[in-house]
Amino acid sequence: MRGAVIHAPGDVRFETLDDPKIVNPTDAVIRTVATCVCGSDLWPYRGIEPVEEPHPMGHEYVGVVEEVGSGVTSVRPGQFVVGSFATSDNTCANCRNGWQSSCLNREFMSTCQADYVRIPNAQGSLVATDEHPAEEFVPSLLAVSDVMGTGWYAALAAEVKPGSTAVVVGDGAVGLCGVIAAKELGAERIIAMSRHASRQELAREFGATDIIAERGEEGVARVKDLTQGIGADSVLECVGTAESMRQALHSARPGGNVGFVGVPHDVAIDGQELFFSHVGLRGGPAPVRGYLPDLIDRVLSGRINPGRVFDLTLPLEQVAEGYRAMDERRAVKTLLMP
């Protein structure tokens, strides 16, 4: 089969690779129907995370089951399935608590920009749709496997409640999905922080009621202007830099909450500042598995359309161009079709 391999920052190649096989009885192998490039794939692509040696890429996927191990009974060959970037057995103590992305047997996916993919923990990780979905739903189901599930978690971690005010820091695919999540969870006012016209437009389409283009303390001041001077109930931090975290923490009101889903890079939080802010903080890789049934329903019922975040679709073999377009900010997110 063929798949993407990163060799060095800026150097992603489409290569012939060994076909994946069942290794453990809990594995499945799927034929990829759609995959994509994630904002976090840009960390090694940009050299911010080291590339020690060439390795496959990709952790977002929907596909059709080709083969299952002897321990897998929840899905069967021929079914269309959605998974998560973090696989989970869905039976351990952390999974039972609803924290599947901290599963004691977790394996992060990392080979999904390819024709076929081995899925560890398939029994606990994959959710099959009743039938093969219409083509129009594929991008949104793919989004559910990571960015939409992550935006959903950001909103839950930020404790978005009906009638509340939510701020979304970051206008990438996750931030935009965070707007969808805040809307679905009943936020009355949704403030998207974005300085790009096309992303502002999509944020509004997804439910943003206000747009703030300013950043840093200036952006925080604008949030305060809109929130009785005290800050927002909930803030979704969807970037992962020291600057975005600061902006998020300062935008929340005393007693408010920040949900942070951008993997933090060089972020240290001052204990005393957090203390006096009275802000609650929770982050992490989203426990997408727990949300899959609900989010798949919302997609197939037409209630949400997170697939709109894909503004570039390429054949999988052009994966390198998919990275380039996102790196150069010509695309928010690239959909790849094998």
Among 134, 275, 301, 328, binds a copy of itself (CB under 8 A): 275
Specify the stretch interacting with a copy of itself by CB under 8 A; choose among 176-184, 200-208, 270-278, 319-327.
270-278
Residues paired with residue 166 on neighbouring β-strands, in sequence order: 190, 234
| Contact (CB, 8 A) for 100 and 90 | yes
Position 34 contacts a copy of itself (CB under 8 A): no
Position 48 contacts a copy of itself (CB under 8 A): no
What residue type is assigned to position 210 of the chain?
D
Position 194 contacts a copy of itself (CB under 8 A): no
Q: Which is nearer to a copy of itself, 80 or 99 (CB)?
A: 99
Specify the stretch interacting with a copy of itself by CB under 8 A; choose among 55-63, 115-123, 252-260, 330-338.
252-260
Nearby residues of 182 by Cβ (< 8 Å), 6 or more positions away: 155, 160, 166, 168, 190, 207, 234, 236
Specify the stretch interacting with a copy of itself by CB under 8 A; choose among 12-20, 92-100, 217-225, 315-323.
92-100
| Contact (CB, 8 A) for 277 and 249 | yes
CA 111 to each of CA 3, 123, 143, 217: distance values in angstroms, whole numbers, following the listed order:
8, 19, 17, 40
Q: CA-CA distance, 153 to 236, in Å (whole number)?
A: 9
Among 9, 282, 313, 318, binds a copy of itself (CB under 8 A): 282
**How does DSSP assign 75-107, residue by residue?**
S-TT-EEE--SEE--S-SHHHHTT-GGG-TT-E
Among 201, 225, 243, 270, binds a copy of itself (CB under 8 A): 270
DSSP H/E element including 151 = helix 147-157
Among 73, 228, 301, 328, binds a copy of itself (CB under 8 A): 228
Q: How many residues bind a copy of itself (CB under 8 A)?
A: 40
What's the min distance (Å) between Cβ of 282 and a copy of itself? 4
Question: Would you call 83 exposed, middle or buried from its count of C-beta atoms within 10 A (0-12, 13-18, 19+)?
Answer: buried
Torsion of Cα atoms, 20 then 89 then 62 then 55, to 10°: -40
Among 40, 277, 305, 334, binds a copy of itself (CB under 8 A): 277
Position 162 contacts a copy of itself (CB under 8 A): no
Place of tokens 């901290």: 102
Among 35, 40, 101, 150, binds a copy of itself (CB under 8 A): 101
What's the min distance (Å) between Cβ of 97 and a copy of itself? 5
Q: Which residues bind a copy of itself (CB under 8 A)?
A: 93-94, 97-99, 101-102, 104, 157, 228-230, 242, 245, 253-255, 260, 263-272, 274-285
